[in-house]
Structures are given as structure tokens and as C-alpha cells.
Structure 1
Amino acid sequence: MFRGFKNFLMRGDVIVVAVGLVTALAFSTLIKAFTDSVINPIIARLQGGKAVGLGWQLGQEGNNATYINIGSFIGALIYFIIFMAVIYFLIVMPYKYTQARRGAEVFGEPGPVKTCPECLAEDLPEAARKCRYCGSDQPRVE
């Protein structure tokens, strides 16, 4: 029982995923600090005056519960884009390169698909002979 668990943990894919997760969490903290300390003050300044942020007050002035903070959303969007770019260029690209050297293709383009004439499912592989949803025979593609 423990031998199987040890073999599972020592697989290369599990180690890569674990390292990627730890790296992602570390970069998440770094990018969150950058967004909170640099991006959000710039967005708040764009509104001018003594504004809390870029947005609109719907209720009583000073009530944060009724304040629509668009600046916070823009900051979160910028955070997401930066975070995903870091993950792609520091984890996905090296992983694709390593797997390509091993002869395995990962994160590749999906294969061609066709539409079932009976149930109109649009995600059938082009070489499928039967529909996976309704079971109807598929016309041959030459």
C-alpha cells in the first residue's frame, strides 16, 4: 500500500504540479502586492479629488456597502492578467518544452471536429463513426 503511494508521489508529473502550485502561490502574493500598492492607487487617482476609488456611490456618502468600486475590479483584472502571464511563461512554456523533448505533446491544438446531423452535437472527433450522445451512425469523412 505505501509502496504504491510512494510511486505515485515520485512520478515526475506530480512533482511538476507541486512545484508549479508553490510557484504560483508565491507569485500570487507578489503580484497581489504590486496590484494593491501600485495599480490601485493609480486607478484611484484617475478619479481625482479625495475619492475612495474609481466608482460610484449609490447610497449615503461614505457607506462602503453601497459603493460600486470599478477601480477594484480593474485592479483585480490586471492582477489576473499578470498572474496568468507569469504562470504561462514560467511554468507552462518550460513544461511544454520539456515534454516536447521527451516526445510528448501537451497543451496542443485540439483535433478537428464535426457536427452530428441527428442531435447537432458540435464536438465529435472528425474520425468518429458513431455519435457519443445519440448513438447515430456518422457519415464517413473522406
Structure 2
Amino acid sequence: MFKEFKEFIARGNVIDLAVGIIIGAAFTAIVNSLVTDLLNPVIGLLTGGTDFSGHYIVLKGEVPPGTSLQAARDSGASVFAYGAFLSAIINFLIIAWAVFLLVKGVNRIQTATRRKQEAEEAAPAGPTQEELLAQIRDELRAQRA
């Protein structure tokens, strides 16, 4: 069983998947910072609030006005956190856009590589060195005769 597990882990696909997950986690941290630290304040200014991700509506319970979302949650109140949900949607759209651009770039590179290979295969093969030497030899013989 250990041998099978070792063979499974050693396969290239598993290693590639692990690298992808690690890079994805790092990329998610970057996108979260972009949304939380850069986009949410701008959206908050446009909507009249200071922190868009902290917008919520109290459904059940007593929460003093101006209480943060985390404090409202900690107090046991039932809150409708539409700002956090919209932040998650923005995160998703940014990640989806970045993945789209990445796939588009990879496809462009693959297409260019494929076209280059097809052009090389379609180009007529020139004469070999031996064929050229034979042609020169024949020309020299024809000139002497």
C-alpha cells in the first residue's frame, strides 16, 4: 500500500495539481487584498459608506447603530451581510477575469507554437549537403567536357 501511494504521489499530475493549489492560494490572498484594500474603499465612497464589506442589515437581535459586522455577529444577532456577499462576488469576478486572461495567453502561445511548427513542416526541405556536392561535381564535369 505504501508503494502504491508513493507511485501515486510521484506522478506528474499530482505534483502539478499540488503546485496549482499552492499558487491558487497565494493568488487568492492577492485578490482578497485587492478587493478589501483597494476596491471596497472606492465602492464605499461611491455608495456613501466607509467600508462596503461591512454593510449589513440586522434581521433579529439588538445591535447599536454603527456596530461593525464582526461585532454584530459576535453579539449573536442574525445579520444579512450583503456587503460581504458583494465582496465575495467581486473577488470571484476578479479571479475569473485573471484566469480568463491566463488561459487566453496560454492559448495564444500554443497557437503561435503550432503555426510555427506547421510552417516548418510545410516548408520544402532543401537539398542535403551530399546532394549539393553532387550537383557541384556534375557541373564541374559538364564544364570540362
Q: TM-score, normalised by structure 2?
A: 0.50
Query: Kindly tell me: are residues 36 and 19 of structure 1, through their superposed partners in 2, closer, same or farther at Cα, counting changes over 3 Å?
Result: same
Instruction: State the alpha-carbon separation in 2 of the partners of residues 41 and 32 from structure 1.
Output: 13
Say whether the 8 Å CA contact 1:35–1:75 is kept in structure 2. yes
Aligned residues: 96
**Residue 95 of structure 2 corresponds to residue 83 of structure 1:** yes
Question: 1:61 aligns to what?
Answer: 65
What value does the CA root-mean-square deviation take over the aligned residues? 3.4
Give, in angstroms, the shift of residue 12 of structure 1.
Answer: 1.7
Question: 1:30 aligns to what?
Answer: 30
Cα deviations by residue, 1:25-74 (Å, 9 ceiling, x for unpaired): 010010000001111101211222x6543746545412332665533322
Instruction: State the alpha-carbon separation in 1 of the partners of residues 80 and 33 from structure 2.
Output: 22
Query: Kindly tell me: are residues 11 and 56 of structure 1, through their superposed partners in 2, closer, same or farther at Cα, counting changes over 3 Å?
Result: closer
Query: Kindly tell me: are residues 93 and 9 of structure 1, through their superposed partners in 2, closer, same or farther at Cα, counting changes over 3 Å?
Result: farther
Question: 1:105 aligns to what?
Answer: none
Higher relative contact order, chain-length normalized (CA < 8 Å, sep 6+): 2
Letter in 2 for 1:22: I
Instruction: State the alpha-carbon separation in 2 of the partners of residues 71 and 6 from structure 1.
Output: 46
Unaligned runs of 5+ in 1: 102-142
Instruction: State the alpha-carbon separation in 2 of the partners of residues 3 and 93 from structure 1.
Output: 39
Question: 2:21 aligns to what?
Answer: 21
Q: Which has the higher helix share?
A: 2
Q: TM-score, normalised by structure 1?
A: 0.51
Unaligned runs of 5+ in 2: 115-145
Give, in angstroms, the shift of residue 80 of structure 1.
Answer: 1.3
Identify the match of residue 82 of structure 2 among 70, 73, 78: 70
Pick the structure with greater CA Rg. 2
Instruction: State the alpha-carbon separation in 2 of the partners of residues 3 and 94 from structure 1.
Output: 36
Query: Kindly tell me: are residues 63 and 19 of structure 1, through their superposed partners in 2, closer, same or farther at Cα, counting changes over 3 Å?
Result: same
Instruction: State the alpha-carbon separation in 2 of the partners of residues 4 and 92 from structure 1.
Output: 37
